[in-house]
Structure 1
Amino acid sequence: MSGGAGEGARRVGRPRADQLRPDSGRPPREELLYAAAELFTVQGYAATTTRAVAERAGMRQATMYHYFGGKEELLAELLESTVSPSLVLARRLLTQEDRPAAERLWELCRSDVLLLCGGPYNLGALYLLPEVGGSRFAPFRLMRLELKDAYRTLLDGTDVGAELSGDRAGLALRNDLVFGLIEGVMLIHRADPARPVAAFAQATADAALRVAGVRRPASPWPASP
């Protein structure tokens, strides 16, 4: 949103529209994450029971507890899956000091949007749940904070960082605007889910740099696969 608690978290892809079954080919743990992603975002976290998750995954509730301790554990892994791949990329980009910081920031923005909008459900909306303030979600909050700090470090390396040298508050504000735009794309994407995600991600990355005031070359940067 890594080498931290969430690095092993897997991104949840598209569940089947009909009742999920144990013979779908997915491991039971992953099947439960698919089911939880659907139910938490469609009918709501508070309204979803562990029994409902287990039944949607095609297993008994008792079996579910072999893999997850409850709803909080399911939610925590889903949340971490929305940040972990971007954090891995951010750490790598921070080491690539031979590349312009603006180009690396653009790549991080684009990749983050692809992650947030690439699945069928709005997992980003789960960030707003009051439960996320609890101690069980501290690893997720730390991962998200590290990702946001990586954005700030890359922004600091651009021409904007040079212009705002000594103005930490000004740089923090611009970073808040960029990070807020990236995390808020789910609302825009939800309004038109048929919009091609790759083009949407590239346009959002362009917009993020403009919001920050970062100057970039006239020719577009190549989009990484």
Structure 2
Amino acid sequence: MGRPRASGAAASSQDAKQAVLEAAAELFATTGYAATSTRAVAERAGLRQATLYYHFPAKEDILCALLAETVRPSLAVARRLLPSRVAAGARLWALAYSDIRLLGTARHNLGALYLLPEIAAPGLATFRAERAELKSAYRALIEQVPDEVPAATRADLVFGLVESVTVVRRDEPRLDIDAYARHGADAVLRVAGQSAPDDARRATALAMLDDP
């Protein structure tokens, strides 16, 4: 059952919205999107269904908000890394490492929802556009790494490799995400046409993620 929460003036709008997102993330990841009703989400959040609809007029809107959390932080990293003059390989490693960690360390495995048929719905257009921009950022970095394999093909392979952490995480709940992210970023470089970096190059890449 839902967690009891304050109502009326005692409950902030932001708290209620966050409660809906947390409840929906848990239910979508465990019960499934199609099998989860807005009533179930409201009950899990400890809110009235009318309150849920105030913040999210449709279940699709909840899904859109949750999926945004899986891509916007990585997109922000990509936008910051692209103009940098640091070697493309280091920037690519940093982006892949950060992206894998984002998908792997989230409380609920929301990246697994990427395969839902509902992803193609008109209401998810913003998410699809942001995810496409992220993929384009990978491609822009990969294009700076010479290789006989077309950059578009390498970008497809790299993007699939990064997002595969959601499948691995589902099958291996105790997965060491940090180690997986490091090895995954190494693999991204190899797919892109470069050798895996040494510790010094990894440190350079990680330092870029620490910069404001």
Q: What TM-score bracket applies, with the shorter chain setting the length?
A: 0.7 to 0.9
Confirm or deny that 1:30 pairs with 2:10: no
The structure 1 residue matched to 2:3, chosen from 20, 30, 33, is: 20
> In the TM superposition, what are the counterparts of 1:171-210 in structure 2 within 5 Å?
171-210=151-190
Confirm or deny that 1:212 pairs with 2:192: yes
Matched position secondary structure for 2:82: helix
Letter in 2 for 1:110: Y
Q: Is the 8 A contact 1:174 1:211 kept in 2?
A: yes
Q: Residues of 1 paired with 2:47 and 2:197: CA distance?
A: 54
Matched position secondary structure for 1:83: helix
> In the TM superposition, what are the counterparts of 1:112-151 in structure 2 within 5 Å?
112-151=99-138
With over 3 angstroms needed to count, the CA separation of the structure-2 counterparts of 1:205 and 1:118, relative to structure 1, is same
**Which stretch shows the higher mean deviation, 99-108 or 111-120?**
111-120
Percent sequence identity is: 47
Please report how far the alpha carbon of residue 47 of structure 1 lies from its aligned counterpart in structure 2 after TM superposition: 0.9
What corresponds to 1:94 in structure 2? 82
With over 3 angstroms needed to count, the CA separation of the structure-2 counterparts of 1:21 and 1:205, relative to structure 1, is farther
Deviation >6 Å, runs of 4+? none
Q: Residues of 2 paired with 1:163 and 1:78: CA distance?
A: 36
**Which stretch shows the higher mean deviation, 199-208 or 143-152?**
199-208
Q: Residues of 2 paired with 1:217 and 1:182: CA distance?
A: 17
Q: Residues of 2 paired with 1:31 and 1:71: CA distance?
A: 14
**Which stretch shows the higher mean deviation, 135-144 or 119-128?**
119-128
Letter in 2 for 1:27: D
The structure 1 residue matched to 2:53, chosen from 65, 70, 79, is: 65
Letter in 2 for 1:124: G
Q: Residues of 1 paired with 2:69 and 2:156: CA distance?
A: 22
Q: Residues of 1 paired with 2:52 and 2:164: CA distance?
A: 32
Q: Is the 8 A contact 1:102 1:216 kept in 2?
A: no
Could you state the TM-score of these two structures normalised by the residue count of structure 1? 0.83
Could you state the TM-score of these two structures normalised by the residue count of structure 2? 0.87
Q: Residues of 2 paired with 1:21 and 1:199: CA distance?
A: 38
The structure 2 residue matched to 1:39, chosen from 24, 27, 37, is: 27
What corresponds to 2:147 in structure 1? 163
Q: Residues of 1 paired with 2:199 and 2:102: CA distance?
A: 25
Matched position secondary structure for 2:55: coil
Cα-Cα RMSD: 1.9
Structure 2: tracts of 5 or more residues without a match: none
What corresponds to 1:84 in structure 2? 72
Structure whose residues are more often helix by fraction:
2
Please report how far the alpha carbon of residue 211 of structure 1 lies from its aligned counterpart in structure 2 after TM superposition: 2.2
Number of positions where the alignment pairs a residue of Structure 1 with one of Structure 2: 200
Letter in 1 for 2:181: A
